[in-house]
């Protein structure tokens, strides 16, 4: 298991800000807005809810990113906690649009968030002229205030209309999809490289329909930052996890990392390097109604490119030469 350094407290608090900010919005700001409806300040939440109604389709029409939010200094402290870096292997010419496969999901997708939803690792300087969008669960954009916070960072809905919009309006758009989805979170165990990909072909079909280039990426270290308790599929806990996913759209994972004190356990991730390697884009023809044979062909080419990307960089970023990339 890779060595884990003890981060300073400021980095730890910066990291906690990320999930806690969503909890604060959901459990504090939203109830506060409802409370204000019954006070003399009622116009404030009333105007917001009217605006929310008028703005409802924005997450599926390119979103509303904020360079100011993406450049907050708190993201650099999260970057330095691990640290997180991005490696470019080939240029991404801005005259094309790109559909990027993000692998693996991990538990909290730290690498993809820091690299594509913030400027902490210098994405705009690394890929000039490219506008990144990281797709996530659509129902997040139905939650007041949280939707605005997500859009400000360049996060978009993973719905088909949202992705179609980005790939058909202008050029230089890069849409990142965590292809393995939430199911891959259960595969997030240290020293494993297992991806749910063999039957995930919808992203290839979408890329063909728009003539978007496919970009394979692999984030080394993403599955090393937490230990997870894995339950047998016949166990009651696994059944509960499956039930939880049907209700909320993601799995209830039992995991642990390090605490604030050296050698203690807690919910902070281990401070281990995370490196996102962005591979060479795979050009695709534009076919309005691609056949299944065509989808299968480019899906196989994508898996082969991802496999080569992993093999070329695995020993440099903590994997043994014998470690294999497995597709489920």
User: pLDDT tens track of the chain, all 328 residues?
Assistant: 455 666 677 788 888 877 778 777 877 888 898 899 999 999 999 999 999 999 999 999 999 999 999 999 999 999 999 999 999 999 999 999 999 999 999 988 999 999 999 999 999 999 999 999 999 989 889 989 999 999 999 999 999 999 999 999 999 999 999 999 888 988 888 888 999 999 999 999 999 999 999 999 999 999 999 998 888 888 999 888 888 888 877 778 888 888 887 778 888 999 999 999 999 999 999 999 999 999 999 999 999 999 999 999 999 998 989 899 999 9
Report the chain's C-alpha Rg in angstroms: 20
Question: Which domain covers residue 293, as residue numbers?
Answer: 9-227+259-327
Would you say residue 133 lies in a domain? yes
Neighbours of 90 (CB within 10 A): 10
- Is 257:270 a contact under the CB 8 Å cutoff? yes
Would you say residue 120 lies in a domain? yes
- Is 326:195 a contact under the CB 8 Å cutoff? yes
- Is 251:240 a contact under the CB 8 Å cutoff? no
Phi, psi values for residue 318, rounded to 5°: 100, -5
Would you say residue 305 lies in a domain? yes
pLDDT score of 38: 92
Neighbours of 45 (CB within 10 A): 20
Burial of 250 (0-12, 13-18, 19+ CB in 10 A): middle
Angstrom distance (rounded) from CA 306 to CA 195: 11
Structural domain count, the chain? 1
pLDDT score of 1: 46
Phi, psi values for residue 158, rounded to 5°: -85, 5
pLDDT score of 242: 87
Would you say residue 295 lies in a domain? yes
Residue 281, domain CATH: 3.40.1130
Would you say residue 159 lies in a domain? yes
Cis peptide before 104 (omega within 30 of 0): yes
Name the 3-class secondary structure at 218: strand
Would you say residue 236 lies in a domain? no
- Is 326:197 a contact under the CB 8 Å cutoff? no
In the chain, which ranges are continuous DSSP H helix? 9-24, 30-36, 43-54, 67-70, 74-81, 110-116, 123-126, 146-152, 160-168, 202-210, 236-248, 292-313
Angstrom distance (rounded) from CA 180 to CA 189: 15
Angstrom distance (rounded) from CA 184 to CA 116: 20
Would you say residue 247 lies in a domain? no
Listed as own residue / partner, the contacts of 228-233 with beta carbons closer than 8 Å and 24 or more positions apart are 228/107, 228/186, 228/188, 228/189, 228/253, 228/254, 228/255, 229/254, 229/255, 230/186, 230/189
Angstrom distance (rounded) from CA 221 to CA 224: 5
pTM reported for the whole predicted model:
0.90
Would you say residue 173 lies in a domain? yes
């Amino acid at each position: 298991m890779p060595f884990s350094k003890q981060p300073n407290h400021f980095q730890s608090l910066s990291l906690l800000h990320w999930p806690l900010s969503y909890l604060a919005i959901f459990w504090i700001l939203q109830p506060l807005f409802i409370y204000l409806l019954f006070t003399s300040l009622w116009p404030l939440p009333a105007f917001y809810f009217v605006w929310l109604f008028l703005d409802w389709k924005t997450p599926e029409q390119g979103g509303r990113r904020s360079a100011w939010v993406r450049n907050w200094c708190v993201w650099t402290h999260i970057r330095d906690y691990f640290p997180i870096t991005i490696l470019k292997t080939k240029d991404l010419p801005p005259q094309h649009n790109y559909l990027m496969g993000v692998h693996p999901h991990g538990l909290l997708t730290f690498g993809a968030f820091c690299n594509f939803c913030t400027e902490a690792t210098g994405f705009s300087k690394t890929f000039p002229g490219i506008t990144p969008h990281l797709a996530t669960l659509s129902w997040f954009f139905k939650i007041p205030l949280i939707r605005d916070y997500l859009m400000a960072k360049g996060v978009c809905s993973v719905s088909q209309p949202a992705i179609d919009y980005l790939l058909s309006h202008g050029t230089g758009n890069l849409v990142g999809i965590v292809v393995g989805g939430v199911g891959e979170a259960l595969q997030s165990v240290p020293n494993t490289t297992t991806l749910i990909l063999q039957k995930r072909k919808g992203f290839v079909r979408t890329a063909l329909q728009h003539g978007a280039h496919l970009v394979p990426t692999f984030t080394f270290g993403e599955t090393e930052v937490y230990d997870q308790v894995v339950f047998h599929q016949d166990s009651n806990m696994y059944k509960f996890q499956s039930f939880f996913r049907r209700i909320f759209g993601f799995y209830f994972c039992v995991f642990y990392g390090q605490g604030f004190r050296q050698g203690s356990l807690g919910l902070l991730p281990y401070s281990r390097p995370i490196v996102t390697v962005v591979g060479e884009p795979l050009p695709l023809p534009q076919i309005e109604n691609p056949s299944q044979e065509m989808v299968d062909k480019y899906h196989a080419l994508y898996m082969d490119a991802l496999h080569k990307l992993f093999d070329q960089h695995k020993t440099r970023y903590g994997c043994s030469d014998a470690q294999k990339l497995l597709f489920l």
